[in-house]
Amino acid sequence: MREALIVWGGWSGHEPEQCAMIYKSWLEEDGFRVYVENTTEAFADPSIRDLSLIVPIFTMSKIEKEEVNNLTAAVESGVGLAGHHGGMGDAFRDAVDYQFMVGGQWVAHPGNIIDYRVDITRKDDPVMAGVNGFAYRSEQYYMHVDPSNEVLATTTFNGDHASWIDGVTMPVVWKRKHGAGRVFYSALGHVSSEFQVPEMATILRRGINWAAR
């Protein structure tokens, strides 16, 4: 049986525990044995290298050097890494090795909660199969991203809240490799209620399964 570890914590505004329980339900339904922890100390356990998947939900916060070293080594060895929004894309701001693995880092969400559009760029990818572009209401993430990411969906800023980024197209969903490990990320999901949006949930659930070895 494949095994997955969910580690939640950090800023409470992203509802990390509620999101962790949604992930847990999905993964158990998909045949995983799931472990849930709420401290970054879980990343330092050498046994994480035997897992199929790790899901971090830990906005901001700190991670110790031995924890990030063990986590990145596990992914390089083949363990999958997957997550969403600030729980993965704005975690551990001072840990550049972590950001290198994720493939991006949040830097702004102009206008805070706004209406915007998600456009599918890789309709041929199994993660995106049958999903069309859709309207979305949440934080529109402006990120610094790795050009090696395989981008599956994007959003375009209109400049209403920061005129100098008018027309900028930004990755929203991507996948990548880090060593032998598969990494999947979606910028959608500011709070747990957004998991009820069918397109968001479909993409994320497929993505975490893709990442898992």
CB 207 within 8 A of CB 173: yes
Read off the pLDDT of each residue in 130-142 and give the average, rounded to a whole number. Answer: 98
Domain span at 86: 3-211
- Burial code (b: 16+ CB inside 10 Å, e: under 16) for 66-88 equals ebbebbbbbbeeebbbbbbbbbb
Mean pLDDT value across the chain: 98
Read off the pLDDT of each residue in 160-165 and give the average, rounded to a whole number. Answer: 97
pLDDT digits (tens, 9 = 90+) for 95-118: 999 999 999 999 999 999 999 999
Q: What pTM value is reported for the model?
A: 0.98
What is the per-residue pLDDT for 129? Answer: 97
CA distance 86 to 209: 20
The rounded percent of the chain whose pLDDT value lies above 90 is 100
Q: Residue 148 sits in a domain of what CATH number?
A: 3.40.50.880
Read off the pLDDT of each residue in 5-22 and give the average, rounded to a whole number. Answer: 98
Residues in Cβ contact with 15 at an 8 Å cutoff, skipping those fewer than 6 apart? 191, 192
Residue 25: other Cβ atoms inside 10 A: 11
- Number of domains within the chain: 1
pLDDT digits (tens, 9 = 90+) for 55-74: 999 999 999 999 999 999 99
